[in-house]
Structure 1
Amino acid sequence: MIETRIKQAINTIKEDNKKALDDISKSFTEVKTHIIALKKCFDTSKEEISKLTIKLNEVISDNTKQTELWNELTYKEDDHKKNVITSIQSLQHELRNSQRCNNSKMNDIEQILNTLPRMSTPLNQNEGTGIPNTQVLDIENSQLKNEFSTSFHNLEPTMGQALLKEVPKLKEWPHFSGEGEHDHMSFIRGIDMIKEEFELPDRLVTARFNTLFTKSAHRWFKVETAFESSKFNADKDKALPWFCQQKDRLTALYCMSEFMIHRKILRQCGGDLEHAVKSRTTEQSSAEDIINILEEVTTRTRIGSSRVNFKAKFNTPWKDSVDKNPKESSNNV
């Protein structure tokens, strides 16, 4: 009996050990599969990290290139500004030297004129004119002073032409395209610098805008000048096409409310016509309302027309009595 029990216990122990070994082997296989999966995830993450590092290096290299280009551009811009300033200073120095030369020439001429003898009788070439020789010398002296005048604001035409030749050509002036983000600031500064250095009048600077404006800025300038030059004339223009064309120009140029667009267009009518239309409209009036009012005012009252004929008849009691009874009026007199 004891032996059988011992054998049964041994068998149960063996079975338990076998089950434990089977469980251990299963757990080892599961751990092995988990390790393989983790290895795959690590490999994929490693590849992604390597790709990200490559992209990051590319971005860093691009940024370095852009910074280098920006530094080059700023250096070139500073160099160009320095060259412009030096050229302008040299031109100013040349102008001052020319003024000094003219001053010295004028002083020499005055000294020569002062050393000339003062005759009491006129010369042969001045006979019959009745002008003494001293007055002739004074006139010549004043003419020479005017000829060699060195005041910059009171220059002679020849001197003004010489100074205008020193002004930079249009190719060297700053141009404005209207397509950059802040290029209008550099354009304004360049124009102001040239205007101040050469003391150019505003009329001469604005006359060059048609050439200095390029691309979209040139188109904007043409539309702006077309709007400003188009004044409403009741004899030539019709209200509907003129108003629509002006509105299209303003909407292409500015971002304004409809009320401000209408007010800006009515300013082109001018004077009495503008007042007549404004007094008949409100802020809520549409473009159709304004066009109808404009047509009504121009057709009925002829305001804004250059061919208005006023034929007023003034009937006074005195005139009526004279016209009706001329005999009675003469007898009373």
Structure 2
Amino acid sequence: MIETRIKQDINDIKEDNKETLDDISKSFTEVKTHIIALKKCFDTSKEEISKLKIKLNEVISDNTKQTELWNELKYKEDDHKKNVINSIQSLQHELRNSQRCNNSKMNDIEQLLNTLPRISTPLNQNEGTGIPNPQVLDIENSQLKNKFSTSFHNLEPTMGQELLKEVPKLKELPHFSGEGEYDHLEFIRDFDMIKEDLELRDRLVTARFNTLFTKSAHRWYIKLRQANGSQSWTWWKTQIINKWANDAWRLKVEKAFEYSKFNGDKDKALPWFCQQKDRLTALYPDMSEFMIHRKILRQCGGDLENAVKSRTTEQSSAEDIINILEEVTTRTKIGSSRVNLKTRFNTPWKDSVDKNPKENSCRQFR
């Protein structure tokens, strides 16, 4: 019984060990699989590390190049700074020299000015007469004039002083009242030309408006200036056009053009034609010259219009038309006002008519 039990226990132990060995074998197989997977990952990581090393070497080489470029740029920057400093110092030296020259020239001019009052005293006199010698006087005056003029011509005035000299005075500038037919357009045109020719800044133009605007335009300017402050010349042009170039103004100018008929006895060709042309140009700035001339000639009347048209072409200028208009009205009197002759009968019709019709064929006039 004991032996049988011992054998059975041994068999049980063998079976348990067998199960344990099987578990160990499975675990070993799994560990082996993990080791193979880790080896693959390690190989992959090794390849990536080698690639990263290559990239790192490239970056290091690029950094080296960047460092070299940076050093080169820094060297060039330092060299450029030195050149700029040297040029500034040379300019300062030249300015100091020119200032010294100008100071010496000004001293020479002051000395010349101080010698001016003494010209009349040390003159040579004619022998025995006591009268100054005119030849000596002319020679001394010419020498002084040449010396004085050369000293002034050597001076170089600044551009600002030259421009300020060219700015017209207030009395020479166009004024604006706002009460003419198209004076606002003339004012804008004149100031545009002055500003362009003299290259004036807006402030030099607009600062004079308080004096140049007169009558109703001055009151309008003061009110607008207080409300909006200092503005540019472009802004003021827009305000002037909005104020005066309105529908009422257009109607007024159109009526003035239509009512102005040419009369050879009262009107002169040049001022009448120019005024009519200015009216049309103000109303229709895009109208062609030919159409403007045709509309003006319609205001001359049928006979005079046909007479002028027959002597002109589409290429005729305003001067040609004015000359032809003057010639036609002077030579032919076409366009002059006709005098209405008023006649009155001497006696009324007779109550009885003579039997002889030849003796009473008409009325008797006084």
TM-score calculated relative to the size of structure 2: 0.32
CA distance in 2, matches of 1:271, 1:95: 76
- 1:119-165: CA deviation from partner (whole Å, max 9, x where unpaired): 76999999999999999989989998998899999944899999999
Give 1:298 shift.
33
Going from structure 1 to structure 2, the CA distance change for 1:57 and 1:180 (only over 3 Å counts) comes to farther
Instruction: Give the distance between the partners of 1:135 and 1:60, measured in 2 at CA.
Output: 94
- Distance in structure 2 (CA, Å) of the matches to 1:64 and 1:139: 82
Secondary structure in structure 2 of the residue aligned to 1:329? coil
Aligned to 1:32, the other structure's residue is in SS state helix
Does the 8 A contact of 2:109 with 2:148 survive in 1? no
User: Does the CA-based 8 Å contact 2:258-2:299 persist in structure 1?
Assistant: yes
1:38: how far off? 1.6
Give the Cα separation in 1 of the matches to 2:303 and 2:128: 62
- More displaced stretch, 71-80 vs 200-209: 200-209
- Cα RMSD of the aligned pairs, angstroms, is 20.5
Give the match for residue 16 of structure 2.
Answer: 16
Could you tell me how far 1:274 is from its partner in structure 2? 34
SS in structure 1 at match of 2:261:
coil
Deviations 1:245-295 (A, max 9, x none): 9999999999x9999999999999999999999999999999999999999
CA distance 1:298–1:285, shift in 2 (3 Å): same
Q: Which moved more, 1:314-323 or 1:56-65?
A: 314-323
How far apart are 1:51 and its partner, in Å?
Answer: 2.7
Cα pair distance change 1:85/1:198, threshold 3 Å: farther
Closer, same or farther: CA 109–190 of 1 in aligned 2, 3 Å: same
Q: Is residue 119–residue 133 contact of structure 1 (8 Å, CA) maintained in 2?
A: no
Give the aligned partner of residue 276 of structure 1.
307
Distance 1:295 1:5 in 2: 161
Residues 319-328 or 91-100, more deviating: 319-328
Alignment of 1:66-81 (within 5 A): 66-81=66-81
CA 1:69–1:34: 2 relative to 1, 3 Å: same
- Greater alpha carbon shift after TM alignment, 100-109 vs 5-14: 100-109
User: Is this contact kept in 2: 1:120–1:133, CA < 8 A?
Assistant: no
- Most deviating of 62-71 and 137-146: 137-146
Q: Which stretch has the larger CA shift, 175-184 or 64-73?
A: 175-184
Superposition deviation, residue 329 in structure 1: 34
- C-alpha distance in 2, partners of 1:94/1:104? 15
Equivalent residue of 2:150, what SS?
coil
Deviates more, 1:192-201 or 1:173-182: 173-182
Looking at structure 2, the residues matched to 26 and 45 of structure 1 have their Cα atoms a distance apart, in angstroms, of 28
- Structure 2 residue 39 is matched with structure 1 residue 39: yes
Question: How has the CA–CA distance of structure 1 residues 302 and 72 changed in structure 2, closer, same or farther, with 3 Å as cutoff?
Answer: farther
Deviates more, 1:80-89 or 1:117-126: 117-126
Distance of aligned partners of 1:245 and 1:181 in 2 relative to their CA distance in 1, 3 Å threshold: closer
- Following superposition, the deviation at residue 233 of structure 1 comes to 33
Kept in 1, the 8 Å contact 2:304–2:334? The answer is yes
User: Structure 1 residues 138-147 or 317-326, which shifts more?
Assistant: 317-326
Task: Give how far 1:83 is off.
Answer: 1.4
Residue 348 of structure 2: aligned partner:
317
Flag structure 1 segments of 5+ consecutive residues without an equivalent.
none
Using a 3 Å threshold, how does the CA distance of structure 1 residues 228 and 95 change in structure 2: closer, same or farther?
farther
Match of 1:319, SS state, is coil
Distance, in Å, in 2 between the alignment partners of 1:320 and 1:85 is 124
Deviates more, 1:6-15 or 1:26-35: 6-15
Task: Give the Å deviation of 1:41.
Answer: 1.4
Q: Distance in 1 between matches of 2:72 and 2:174?
A: 20
Deviation at 1:33, TM superposition (A): 2.0
Change in CA separation of 1:104 and 1:61 when aligned onto 2, cut-off 3 Å: same
Q: Where do residues 60-139 of structure 1 align in structure 2 (5 Å cutoff)?
A: 60-63=60-63, 65-101=65-101, 103-104=103-104, 107=107
C-alpha spacing 1:210/1:99, structure 2 compared with 1 (3 Å): farther
TM-superposed deviation, 1:27? 1.4
How many angstroms does 1:29 deviate by?
2.2
**Which has the greater radius of gyration?**
2
Go from structure 1 to structure 2 and tell me whether the alpha carbon gap of 1:231 and 1:10 turns closer, same or farther (over 3 Å shift).
farther
The alpha-carbon deviation at position 303 of structure 1 amounts to: 32
Report the CA distance shift for 1:198/1:241 in structure 2 as closer, same or farther (over 3 A): closer
Contact 2:124 2:136 in 1 (8 A): no
Structure 2 gaps of 5+ residues are: 222-251, 362-366
Larger deviation, residues 23-32 vs 315-324: 315-324
Aligned counterparts of 1:104 and 1:22: Cα–Cα separation in 2: 119
Aligned length: 329
Deviation at 1:31, TM superposition (A): 1.1
- Aligned identity (percent) is 91
